[in-house]
Structure 1
């Protein structure tokens, strides 16, 4: 089964894709961002279901739907639109639209609607990792930047999936847990700083700013999309143990760095976010190792240690770029590990001091130097 999604907002398109795959894991989904590309794709590979936004940069999505109806009278058509007036509905009545999804939408409601429209999944299971790669290191080396993810904390993922299935959820309580989840905080920061949501504006450097920019409903949809995307949980005991150690270190650094920030009358929020994300490379390697194992492959402890050593740094660099993290936040994250000799920013000095206080003896010369630079001697 093939499902076509025509949507120029890449974040909404990805959410819709994850919803479809959660309902029909064996289907193929193609996402397109222009009417012209969708028309060409339809001529080459007619889809079994078409989901289209109404307004696209190169014209109305109804151009695609009209072509689909000329070729096939029974293909389910779903329209995504901010228009809910009667005139708009009547304007496309002849196309026999199967369902209208009004923006802003809730992921659970979209899933309920699509469940009745998607044909039965008869194509089998989703594709597995290629058997051509015979070890974990080769697999990690082959990954593109768009494939890199951090694992959601298990309880956060479970609660999001419960909400997706229609169970009631306290959004305020859930949001309070998100600030301790690197994957979710990074995801929302990435969307809030993207050109679609922050065209030329002030960059977001912490989760609270991102939530305000995106809004509650949009933030919840994006969080659900991430939960649906993550087909693997860290069930391998060794991976889980490593991940917990890294998460514990982030909490310790959050506590110390935000305490120093308050002591110096500075905003603690960027320090919290930088500390939360400073182990993103390691967490990404661990998640990809679990995906590798879930595909039927195996790895040794030595291979995992090599993977962490070789890929944590490059993966972190790639993720920071992918998430559009602002430069001052990247500098704060970098200060967790080292401080350039030319640095004069007090924020970075404080972050470096917090990291050293957790890892150095209290009487070390480096700590004394950093305290002087921070004005805390």
Structure 2
């Protein structure tokens, strides 16, 4: 089947158990055909049910689905003897010759192994969903009549895609690739100041496909994920809508939060090292503590592009009202480890009577980051947090100047 055989708007089924791989497939496909009608599911039984109920123009399914595996779905589709054959891309972590021989008699349109080659996948989708030289443009839907900004933001809170990107991901990946493949430490050095990349990789490393001790740092996430998967997840973020803010006012707020996050993370790292604590975990908590505010700015960009009015006062009010709620919703939906979420909460306030030393460090670091260049450290040095950590004015001055 070629693209010319497709209807004006193709219907596509994606069946993938891992939530981050599923999201990546969705973004790559929508980057090729933004108008595609997508059904997305996480298990084979749901996929089989959808195949009985609907007619699809393309299927992407993982072999390792629960219930009904992807190979069984392919076998069921081929038994229908549809002409021309329904395009079916089979995805798998199996790259051994026996698995390939088992799949080939069922004539998958493509057999792609994890971690996916995104260029190869994109080319396959373009060949299947577009005629030569064709491209599809999708307009941003206008706001519903009577929609207010607070109502819009309330609706978007549970489905927002997170923060805009601070780092140019293509450049970061290119700089981290060498003759022997992806250099993880170089990649970490390139992307660690980006809250969105940090959050997504930590969340992916804690997803259903990975087991063991919960991952709470970017370093641990990169070392737990397959290198190719890390690269794909990072590059996939650049495919999403509004990863770059177009409004100067929103961008100014984002730059302020990015810098605040980076400064607090760096202070936390230095303090933790001085006190012989987990400096990577403290860094992660601080780099993520403004994730909700940044995610909100991205949704305000959606509002603006859809035709909504926006000024500096509306931005400030929205951040005050929804910023914390967006952060909480994202951390919960992405299932960041509870211990990391608790440490992030400590950047804002210390609750209860017993605090871990890491919680005290991140709280003190964010206090330092909020100081202007003309404000001194004396008041912070005399605070309860500093006293509990047993750090004084001279230590804080050294941390600030290092």
Question: Normalized against structure 2, the TM-score is what?
Answer: 0.83
3-state SS, counterpart of residue 145 of structure 1: coil
Distance 1:122 1:373, change over 3 A: closer
How far 1:344 sits from its partner (Å)? 3.0
1:8 to 12, 17, 22: 17
1:122-153 per-residue CA deviation (whole Å, 9 max, x = no partner) reads: 98626626424623221111125233411111
Mapped contact 1:232–1:290 kept (Cα < 8 A): no
Query: How far 1:308 sits from its partner (Å)?
Result: 0.5
Q: Are the counterparts in 2 of residues 11 and 191 from structure 1 also a CA contact under 8 Å?
A: yes
Query: Does 2:276 align with 1:261?
Result: no
Q: Which moved more, 1:301-310 or 1:325-334?
A: 325-334
Q: Select the residue among 78, 85, 98 that pairs with 1:74.
A: 85
Q: Give 1:355 shift.
A: 2.4
Cα deviation 1:132-189 (Å, max 9, x = unaligned):
46232211111252334111115236766999xxxx9977644322101000000001
- Distance of 1:285 and 1:221 partners within structure 2: 25
Mean Cα displacement is larger for which, 81-90 or 248-257?
A: 81-90
Shift of 1:231: 4.2
TM-fit CA distance, 1:16: 1.1
Q: In the alignment, what sits opposite 2:382?
A: 367
SS in 1 for 2:159: helix
Residues in 2 aligned to 1:161 and 1:129: alpha-carbon distance in whole angstroms:
37
RMSD, aligned α-carbons = 2.7
Determine the structure 2 residue equivalent to 1:142.
Answer: 155
| Residue 77 (structure 1) shift | 1.5
Look up the match of 1:294: 305
- State whether residues 54 and 62 of structure 1, in contact with CA within 8 Å, keep that contact through their aligned partners in structure 2: yes
Q: CA deviation at 1:266?
A: 1.6
TM-score by length of 1: 0.88
Partner of 2:199: 186
Q: Which runs of 5+ in 2 are unaligned?
A: 1-9, 393-402
SS in 1 for 2:49: helix
Size of the aligned set, in residue pairs, is 371
Whether the 8 Å CA contact 2:29–2:125 is kept in 1: the answer is yes
Of 94, 102, 108, the match for 1:83: 94
Alpha-carbon deviations, 1:273-296, whole Å to 9, x = none? 111111111101111111222233
Deviations 1:189-233 (A, max 9, x none): 1111223213xx211111000101113111111112222123442
CA contact (8 A) 1:234 1:287 kept: yes
- Cα 1:353/1:162, change in 2 over 3 Å: closer
Q: Tell me whether 1:219 sits opposite 2:230 in the alignment.
A: yes
Which range moved further: 65-74 or 23-32? 65-74
> Per-residue CA shift, 1:343-372, capped at 9, x if unaligned?
332221222222223446533378343222
Does 2:72 correspond to 1:57? Answer: no
Aligned equivalent of 2:168: 155
**Match for 2:255 among 238, 244, 260?**
244
| CA displacement, residues 55-80 of structure 1 (integer Å, 9 cap, x when unaligned) | 32113323322333334433211111
**Residue 44 (structure 1) aligns with:** 53
Whole-Å separation in 2 of the counterparts to 1:222 and 1:299? 32
Give the one of 213, 216, 224 matched to 1:205: 216
Structure 2 CA distance, aligned partners of 1:162 and 1:106?
18
* SS of alignment partner, residue 310 of structure 1: helix
Distance in structure 1 (CA, Å) of the matches to 2:338 and 2:138: 41
Determine the C-alpha separation between the residues in 1 that align with 2:22 and 2:334. 17
Equivalent-residue separation in structure 1 for 2:129 and 2:70 (angstroms)? 20
Corresponding residue of 1:176: 189
- Match of 1:356, SS state, is helix
Contact 2:260 2:370 in 1 (8 A): no
